[in-house]
Chains A and B, each alone.
Chain A
Amino acid sequence: MTGESQAITQNYATAKGFCITSAFWMVVATFMGLLGATELMAPDLLENVGWLVFGRVRPIHINLVLFGFVTPGLLSAAFYYVPKLLRTDLYSEKLGKITVFAWNVTLVAAVVSLAMGKTQGREYAELIWPIDMMVVAAFSLVIINIIMTVKQRREPILYVSVWYVCAAVILTAITYGLGNIIWKPSSGALVGIPDAIILWFYGHNVFGLLLTPLSAGVTYYVIPKACRAPLYSHTLSLWGFWSLLVVYTHIGTHHLLQVPVPTWLKVIAIVDSNAMVIPVMAFLINIWYTAKGKLGEIHADIGAKFVFTGTIMYFFVSIQGSMMSLPDVQRVTHFNNWVVAHAHLGVLGFAGMIALGGIYYILPRMTGRPLYSRLLAVFQYWMILIGTVGFTVVLTIAGLIQGNAWLNGETVYRILPQIHVYYVTRAALGLMIFSSAVIGFYNIIRSMFFSPGETS
């Protein structure tokens, strides 16, 4: 890692703004998740409250988790470490503040429109055209700020985290526009099977080109810093970066293996889903070898602890994902709660953990004071860890019950009583995760604005 000794004048306004954005929307997003989970358990709880009907709560939950909690959390860290790594100031904190503002306006618009039932009905691409444009505009502002910062750098070498941030924001701005069919404002969709293909190309790239590269960027920054060790291998960084871009972008069609799409497309999706082991292991080996023998240092820093745990989750969710692309496995796992478990392991366990890790790592360094409460942060860590692992276990069991029963000819209706207990457990775990979000928000706000810092 390159030196950062030169005086940096920045006030971190942008990083702090995204940090608060992430912490706040995590509360709303997890509440929406908890609400949806509760509705599956007690469907008449909010009987005829139209704007909170499950079919509207679910897209609000997902859009807020992706674009309200995880992405801003990861961007917060990026706006902190990109200037640091380049030994310069952020190109424009003013532009950054405008970006944070625009981002939050976009999120409010997304929640209101989805609650009103204004949706394009495509998973991960629900937002209506004006909000799509706001998302693209917000990403464009991030791109300008990041690229201009890179251009004004005083450090000649671009560290791997910077590659990931640049690629993530640029490629996502493009694939978001593609996947949301922004050239057709009225529907935001194509017709028939081509619509499904482009939707899942984009849908999976939300993880492949946004959450994963931004998470990798944070990890590549935090782990070597926390361990005070040089990165294990530059070659592996290169392999991980380029293979991620090449391989991850090919796998979206594994959502359509049981759908009449061209067979050659399915073959590419399956082969590349399994080839994901290359970018995943290149990254993980690089990080884990960097941390080899230094787990004490990681344990000592709550931010690094979140991040490192995220890498372990990444290992499991990736192996699972490759496995799920195999047609024989998917016969059981498709259409049921197994997939919901997989999604939570990936987005909360991996990207969400790393987003929180990034926040907790940079927060004391931005304020120059310790966290308001390390204990609350550790408490949040365990709540999320237990919540995520619990989700994975419970929903995987529910999914196996559903999938195998269906495969044996049982109807969906017949299986509902069998999985009820798992819905109840899932809602209880969801309550833990929501509570931890509230605690985290409190801790982050106190740390940023009021903390005298812990004396210990």
Chain B
Amino acid sequence: MNMTLKTVVIGSLLVLAAVVFVMVIMPYADTNKTTPSEIFRERSPAEAAGRAFYIANGCVYCHSQSIRKVDWGLGAERIAQAGDYLADHPILLGSARTGPDLSQEGGEHPNDWQIAHFINPRYTRPLSIMPAFAFLGMENLKQLTTYVQSLGLKHADKRMERQRLWKKEAIKAYERGPVANVKWLHEQVPEGWRKLPNPYPTTDAGLARGHKIYQDFCLGCHGPIGDGMGPAQPYLYPPPLNFTIVKDRGISGGILYYQIMNGITGTAMPYFKRELESEKIWDVGNYVAVYFINQTDADTEPKGIDASYEP
């Protein structure tokens, strides 16, 4: 083959033209007629403005918006469809999960949790390696939050409605004072759980595990001594629970377990069912009960058959 300048240039251009036809134009014809998915809606101007901050600060480099068949975590209830992305200009699928996928982040937490988390992510998530975004200023953070709370579109709207409903209730209860607040909090736990003591005995090993879990997950809001004065506290309303006030007010291992597992929607308290296995929840609950509440029902009746591993 005689490689002249003409052969090289025209040959290369012909190859590229053919490939562009197959790899760009044909897929465009194929995907351009995508119809909206059942969760799709257009974005409000405020959400679009928040999205501009998301783009400007490179959130896409650590957070995907792309739920796959093999995923388990946040948003995995629903695999992404082409029709979810019809308002995404540009699309922000992302290529790394240095942080979690955010496809369905909207409504996962209330706004005040999001703000505290943006001010410094370690305030709410002590192990996070996300940068602090306080430098954006409160107004911009609110816009960014508006966008993040829309992720998941119609599904996010449903969750946000739920957050707003329970936020009102939680604030009402908090403002009625500690006694009424604790009563309200406990009433939200199904009765069976309320009567359930922590079935495992208090052990040094269990407390050590609970301590570790507390530091990794709880400390940012509830504070190192459990008084609800963690670094996130100034941003949260109702503020994080001061554990000392629940003593002698009907607290049980079951209530702690249920609240840690399920979160308290409307407040900044998230659910931890995805991150903590059963034993870790019992352990951290008992750590809180022993050290901060100073009242534990661990290993009291009724508890059924002892677990085979108990000493």
Contacts and interface: CB of A to CB of B under 8 A. Distances in A.
Given A238-B1, A406-B73, A119 B96 contact: no
A287 to B, nearest CB: 18
A30 B274 CA distance: 38
A268 B19 CA distance: 11
A120 B52 CA distance: 9
Interface residues of B, number: 77
Contacts of A416: 127-129
Given A44-B120, A163-B8, A413-B127, A54 B58 contact: yes
Contact of B4 (A158, A253, A335): A158
Interface in A100-155: 117-123, 147, 150-151
Given A118-B56, A123-B95, A190-B89, A261 B31 contact: yes
Given A48-B134, A249-B19, A262-B27, A167 B8 contact: yes
Interface stretch (A91-99, A194-202, A276-284, A366-374): A194-202
A58 interface: yes
Contact of B15 (A50, A120, A245, A262): A245
B181 interface: no
Contacts of B134: 47-48
B97 A192 contact: no
A171 to B, nearest CB: 5
A53 interface: yes
Nearest to A186: B89
Interface in A236-267: 238, 242, 245-246, 249-250, 252-253, 255-256, 258-262, 265
B256 to A, nearest CB: 21
Residue with the highest number of chain B CB atoms closer than 10 Å, among A188, A196, A245, A250: A196
Contacts of A195: 88-91
Contacts of B32: 194
A410 B58 CA distance: 25
Interface in B27-84: 27-28, 30-32, 34, 54-62, 64, 66, 68-74, 80-82
B131 A39 contact: yes
A187 B61 CA distance: 18
Residue with the highest number of chain A CB atoms closer than 10 Å, among B20, B31, B62, B134: B31
A409 interface: yes
Nearest to A167: B12
A158 B69 CA distance: 50
Of the four ranges (under 10, 10 to 19, 20 to 34, 35 or more), the interface on chain A belongs to 35 or more
Interface in B72-125: 72-74, 80-82, 85-101, 120-122, 125
Contacts of A175: 16
B130 interface: yes
A409 B277 CA distance: 11
A193 B90 contact: no
Nearest to A124: B95
Contacts of A252: 23
B9 A249 contact: no
Give me the 10 closest cross-chain CB pairs, A-B, nearest first. Answer: A55-B58, A189-B90, A117-B56, A121-B55, A48-B135, A192-B85, A50-B135, A409-B72, A258-B68, A249-B19
Given A158-B4, A190-B90, 7 more contacts: A175-B16, A178-B24, A191-B89, A193-B34, A198-B28, A268-B23, A335-B97
